[in-house]
Chain A
Amino acid sequence: MSRRKAAVLRSLLLVAAAAFIIFGASRGEVDTVFTKAVNICLECIGIG
């Protein structure tokens, strides 16, 4: 892949990533992640 093509693809991906993050946060995914992260995940530690 030529340097230029890679650079264009990378820029597109970074912009898309930023858009995804903002959109995902706005539709409440952050809440889901937070809830999962602050309650001990019994399944993760091998109990539930």
Chain B
Amino acid sequence: MAEFLQKIRNRMRLIVQVGFTALTNGYVLGFIKGKIYKGPTKALCVPGLNCYSCPGALGACPIGSLQAVLGSRNYRFSFYIIGFLIFIGSLIGRFVCGWLCPFGLIQDLLYKIPFFRNRKRKNLPGHKWLVWLKYVILVVFVILMPMFYVDIIGQGSPWFCQFICPSGTLTAGIPLVLLNEDLRGAIGFLFAWKAAILAAVVLLSIMVYRPFCKYLCPLGAIYGLFNPIALYRYQVDETKCNRCGSCQRACKMDIRVWETPNSRECIRCGDCIKSCKRGAICTTMKKNKEKEQE
């Protein structure tokens, strides 16, 4: 029994990822009928990048909703969505990326596929500069374009959703087109473009760990800003750490954990904690538990 519990503890993150994805995309009826859920929970955002046009989706995507409100002619700023993002960020930061985002789960699984066994790598060349690309995408495609590139009555389009987001293509575009014969006739160049981006991200994800999260995701860009001050964050015990570098080797986001345990790039997967032979890294949750026990 103890062994079984230990096995579960080792796989905890995967279990939470799958469970949360199933929970927030549990509208199986949508997949059967080729429609999307229209109930009231669709007014609430889920924390991860989860397209609201997915047949299974029960909630709304924060990035999509942000573009919708900024693009609407009635608003110049979204208090509701920004408030939600600040709330989640301040509590858990990029824990969402590592534990609650469906597209993160997909990239994790893709990386495990044993293709390119000899050529699997953590980062793309140019990593240092590429990590800033997600902030450019956030500012340009999620904020500026929907706000200012408007049509005849002042309404903007969701530029990130429309031209970039591979999560939407995979979980919404492809299922809906496959399940609805009349939608199939309406696809054109845009669909091919999005499919190409999806294919590129999928292929890259087999070779590089989480390329979308590292270089493209605007949501991760936002949450990452909160990592240093989030309630759930990592702490390094300086007295125990001998700067051996095991944590950086274990870290698939390639972070120098002993220096910056709350880097903007950290998705809180916990691999560094498991790898530290001296137990020098811990989460603020564990630290508080220990304090209570003393």
Q: Do A and B come from one complex?
A: yes
User: B36 within 8 Å of A by Cβ?
Assistant: yes
Question: Contacts A18-B87, A24-B78, A38-B38 hold; do A45 and B173 have CB atoms under 8 A apart?
Answer: yes
Count residues of A near B (Cβ-Cβ below 8 Å). Answer: 35
User: Which residue of the partner chain, among B45, B90, B176, B229, contacts A33 with CB atoms under 8 Å?
Assistant: B45
Considering the chains assembled together, what is the distance between the CA atoms of A1 and B77 in angstroms?
Answer: 29
Question: Using a CB-CB cutoff of 8 Å, which residues 49-86 of chain B contact chain A?
Answer: 51-53, 57, 59-61, 64-65, 68-69, 72, 74-75, 78-84, 86
- 12 inter-chain pairs at a CB distance below 8 angstroms, sorted by A residue, are A17-B86, A19-B83, A24-B82, A27-B79, A29-B78, A33-B42, A34-B40, A37-B42, A37-B57, A44-B52, A44-B158, A45-B168
Give B53 Cβ to nearest chain A Cβ, in Å: 5
Give B287 Cβ to nearest chain A Cβ, in Å: 11
Considering the chains assembled together, what is the distance between the CA atoms of A6 and B90 in angstroms?
Answer: 10
Question: Which secondary structure characterizes the binding site on chain A?
Answer: helix
Give A7 Cβ to nearest chain B Cβ, in Å: 8
Chain A residues near B89: list those with CB within 8 A.
13
User: B177 within 8 Å of A by Cβ?
Assistant: yes
Would you call A20 and B82 a contact (CB within 8 A)?
yes
Chain B residues near A23: list those with CB within 8 A.
79, 83
Would you call B176 and A43 a contact (CB within 8 A)?
no
Chain A residues near B183: list those with CB within 8 A.
45, 47
User: B186 within 8 Å of A by Cβ?
Assistant: yes
Of the listed residues B45, B90, B158, B230, the one surrounded by the most CB atoms of chain A closer than 10 A to its CB is: B90
Nearest A residue to B165 via CB reads A44
Chain A residues near B61: list those with CB within 8 A.
37
B-side interface residues toward A, CB under 8 Å? 36-38, 40, 42-43, 45, 51-53, 57, 59-61, 64-65, 68-69, 72, 74-75, 78-84, 86-87, 89-91, 157-158, 161-162, 165, 168-169, 172-173, 176-177, 183, 186-188, 190-191, 193-195, 226, 228-231
Chain B residues near A17: list those with CB within 8 A.
83-84, 86-87, 90
Nearest B residue to A33 via CB reads B65
Q: Mark A1-22, 1 if CB is under 8 A from B, else 0.
A: 1000010011001101111111
Question: Contacts A40-B176, A44-B173 hold; do A6 and B68 have CB atoms under 8 A apart?
Answer: no
Considering the chains assembled together, what is the distance between the CA atoms of A10 and B229 in angstroms?
Answer: 6
Would you call B64 and A44 a contact (CB within 8 A)?
yes
Would you call A36 and B64 a contact (CB within 8 A)?
yes
Question: Contacts A17-B90, A43-B162 hold; do A32 and B72 have CB atoms under 8 A apart?
Answer: yes
Considering the chains assembled together, what is the distance between the CA atoms of A40 and B173 in angstroms?
Answer: 10
Considering the chains assembled together, what is the distance between the CA atoms of A34 and B161 in angstroms?
Answer: 16
Would you call B53 and A44 a contact (CB within 8 A)?
yes
Chain A residues near B75: list those with CB within 8 A.
29, 32
User: Which residue of the partner chain, among A6, A28, A30, contacts B74 with CB atoms under 8 Å?
Assistant: A28
Would you call A36 and B90 a contact (CB within 8 A)?
no
